[in-house]
Copies of this chain bind each other. A is one copy, B any other.
């Protein structure tokens, strides 16, 4: 045990010249191996890397950051990386920026606006080069401009009017939801309920639901709108409430797949069948949608493409190819028909 910190931190600093000497190459070659910008024979690269590890050489990237004021990192702010949707989005982002030499820094906010603020302050403090705000409704905090002026920012979802210099990538929730509910109507459903998220009404997914009903002259019945919380237990309770009503729904559109899986649980608990007694549609197309019984008809939320597109928008600002007003990219959400509806 030691209270003085790791001795490695106090060792005299190994220089690039020492690395070059021991590897039997020129300092320029070492520098090329480090930057990866010029061709160096593979065997030479390996020798240099081995010497770097042996000597514990740490290139002065931090000094380079100071000079260029760049950390070569992008931050992605998500509610929770353990939610598959955000993990896949993060992977798309990482794949987009990795080739340009940017690392991806993940911030979990749990939907807590204070944590989000703390992360944004932190992002500012670290000199991060770009930010993707995918923290859901809380991400709407980015109202008046980028969280750190001069730091390129992409929001996932939200409305483009909010922040003129912020780019946006948004799945086409309304069109996707409209397709889901139109599919239920085409299958003969007439009492179509919706289990939403925990927020006040007015989401894009509810818009699609309302539009499809209106187009087919089906009046919206307020008691067919139930509130969930994006979770399986939340979907299960909401479905039990809907099924306890005097006139049961014959179909349910759920605002996400976990909610739909909980709704299926409730139908099975009542010894009824899906889709025989009630047809059920989800939203997201997570892996579990093909594992649940019956396999879930759902709307695909293009998480990977959202992340990848966000990364491409960031790159165009980070490398100076674009410096104009905020752009909005809308990605399609196709209906995937399986067995639950």
**Residue ranges of A at the interface with B (Cβ–Cβ < 8 Å):** 1-9, 11, 34, 49, 52-53, 55-59, 61-63, 65-66, 69, 71-73, 75, 80-82, 84, 87-88, 90-91, 94-95, 103-108, 117, 121-122, 124-127, 147-152, 261, 287-288, 291-293, 317-324
Copies in the complex: 2
Quick one: given A49-B121, A104-B105, are A149 and B2 in contact (CB under 8 Å)? no
Chain B residues within 8 Å of A127, by CB: 58, 61-62
Decide: B81 and A87 in contact? CB cutoff 8 A: yes
Decide: B80 and A69 in contact? CB cutoff 8 A: no
Chain B residues within 8 Å of A107, by CB: 103
Q: List 20 A-B contacts (CB under 8 A).
A: A1-B321, A6-B317, A8-B149, A8-B150, A8-B151, A9-B150, A11-B150, A34-B121, A34-B125, A57-B124, A58-B69, A58-B124, A62-B69, A81-B81, A81-B90, A82-B91, A84-B84, A87-B87, A288-B291, A293-B293
Quick one: given A49-B121, A82-B88, are A105 and B73 in contact (CB under 8 Å)? yes
Chain B residues within 8 Å of A94, by CB: 81, 106, 108
Chain B residues within 8 Å of A322, by CB: 1-2
Decide: A53 and B105 in contact? CB cutoff 8 A: no
Starting from the known contacts A62-B66, A87-B87, A261-B291, 8 additional A-B residue pairs (CB-CB under 8 Å) come to A6-B150, A53-B147, A57-B124, A59-B124, A62-B127, A73-B105, A105-B106, A292-B293
**Alpha-carbon distance A3/B322, docked complex (angstroms):** 8
Chain B residues within 8 Å of A324, by CB: 1
**Alpha-carbon distance A121/B59, docked complex (angstroms):** 10
- A105 in complex: contacting residue of B9, B56, B103, B148, CB < 8 Å: B103
List 7 tightest A-B contacts by C-beta distance, closest first: A8-B150, A56-B149, A5-B320, A293-B293, A87-B87, A2-B323, A62-B66
Chain B residues within 8 Å of A75, by CB: 103
- A125 in complex: contacting residue of B61, B80, B87, B117, CB < 8 Å: B61
Chain B residues within 8 Å of A149, by CB: 8, 53, 55-56
**Alpha-carbon distance A124/B4, docked complex (angstroms):** 22
Query: Of all chain B residues, which has the CB nearest A56?
Result: B149
**Alpha-carbon distance A92/B1, docked complex (angstroms):** 25
Decide: A52 and B317 in contact? CB cutoff 8 A: no
Query: Of all chain B residues, which has the CB nearest A69?
Result: B9
Min Cβ gap A267→B in Å is 13
Chain B residues within 8 Å of A323, by CB: 1-2, 5-7
